Amino acid sequence: MAPYGVHSEVGKLRQVIVHRPELSLKRLTPDNHDELLFDDVLWVERAQWEHDQFVARMRERGVEVFYVQDLLGEALAASEDARRRIIEVVASEYVVGTGLVDPVREKLTSLPADELARHLLGGLTVGESGLDLATLGKSSLIAAAIDDETMFILPPLPNSLFTRDSSCWIYGGVSINPMYWPARRREAFNMAAIYKAHPMFAGGGFEFWYPELGNDDRFNVHDFGLASLEGGDVEIIGRGTVAIGMSERTTGRMIEQIARALFAKGAADRVIAAVMTKDRAHMHLDTVFTLLDRDKATAYPKVVQGIRAISLRPGAKPGTLDVRPDKDFLSAVADALGVAKLHVVETGGDAYQQQREQWDDGNNVVALEPGVVVAYERNTFTIAKMREAGVEVVPIEGFELGKGRGGGHCMTCPVTRDPI
C-alpha cells in the first residue's frame, strides 16, 4: 500500500473514510434540524440503505472503505491517553457547564470504547447520562435549569455524514479543520483521535497541515479566531496545486495558513483561492465544481462563472506569500492541470432544472478513477451530459441522503488517492 496521501481529485481512489447514518440522524427533529444545519429530517433506515449501496459501488471498484464510528471506537480502545484527552475536550466547562464537568466525564469514562464512540457522534441526553439533577442542581446552573430528560448534555453530530469537511488530506498530509459553525466543531476532535491514536495511522509518516502541533498536543483547543476551513472547499488539483474555495464556511485567513504550511514543506507550490459568493445553496466549492477526469470538470455556470481566482505561491522570504489574481477560475485550473482547455460539463437542463440539480448535488460527484464518477441518479440531465462527454457515471439512490445537501464528494474523505 502506498503511503497515506491524496495527490489528485480523480486519480485511482485507494482508501476512503465514510460515516454511515447512525444515532445522530435519528435525533434530528423538526424542532432542532435548523440548528443542526439540516434542511429536513431523514428517514434514517432508508438513508442507511442508500449509504450501503454507495459503499458497495466503491468496494466493487477496489476501494478500501473505513467507517468513522468503527475507527473512533478502535482508536479509543487502543489508547487510554486519546480516550482521556477527547473526554476532557468534549466535556469541558464550555460545553457542559462548570458544575457538570466531573459527573459527565465520569459517565463518559465508564463507557466501553465502542459505546463512547457512539455517543461522541450521536450525542448524550440527560436521561442517558444518569445524572442526579436534584443534587447537582444545588451547585450547577445548567443542572438546575434542565426540565426534560431528552435535552442534550452533548448535542449530536449529524453532519459527520459529510466526512470530507472535518478533515481533508492534501498531498502527503492531513488538515484537521476548524469548522465554521459551532454545531460541527466537535467533529474535528473525533477525527483527531483517529489520526492520533488509531493503530492504522501509527507511523504513517504524514504531516499535519493544521493544527501545527507537537505529538502530545493535538487534542488541545486552540483559538483560531475568525479563521475557518471545511474540506468541501478543498480540491487537490494535482501537479503541486490545490484549489480552496473562499466561501460561506472557509475564510481567507485559513487559506493563508494552509498555504504557508504546504509551502514550508514543499508539498505544494500553488494554492488557487476561489473567491465565491456566500450562499447556503453552494456552501462549498465542491457543490458547484468537481473534477471528472484529467481534463474534465462539472460546474454550475451561474456560480462558477462569477468565481474570482487568486493564486498564492511561496514568497521571496520563508513564510511569506506571493499573491496574484488569475484571469478566471476555470483557466487557472486548466493551467495548473497543464491542459490547453478544461472541458467543462455544465449542470444539465434549462435554467430551472440547472438550479434544481445543483441543489440536489448534481455537481457534487466523487471520482473513483479518471473518468469514472459516482452521482445521485436523480440528476438525470447532468448525468446525461457527463456521459456524452465520455465520463462513466455510477448512479446511486439519494432520496434521503440528499436531504443533507451533500453528494458523493461530501460523503467521502479520501485517505489514499493516486496522482494523475
Q: Which residues are catalytic?
A: 410
CA-CA distance, 39 to 373, in Å (whole number)? 26
Handedness of CA 410, 415, 418, 420 (dihedral sign): positive
416 to each of 69, 382, 394, 398, how far by Cα in Å? 19, 28, 21, 25
Q: How many residues does the chain have?
A: 420
CA 122 to chain centre: 17
Tell me the C-alpha distance between 252 and 226, whole Å: 10
Q: DSSP string of 379-399?
A: -HHHHHHHHHTT-EEEEE--T
- Residues contacting residue 83 through CB under 8 Å, at least 6 positions apart: 76, 109, 113, 116
According to DSSP, the β-strands at 167-170 and 366-369 are unpaired
Query: Which cell numbers hold the place of 19?
Result: 460515516
Question: Any bridge partners for residue 273, and if so which?
Answer: 244, 310
Q: Where are the alpha helices (DSSP H) in 13-99?
A: 23-26, 44-60, 68-78, 80-90, 93-96
Amino acid (one-letter) located at 29: T
Give CA–CA dist 205/285, Å, rounded: 29
* 296: DSSP letter: E
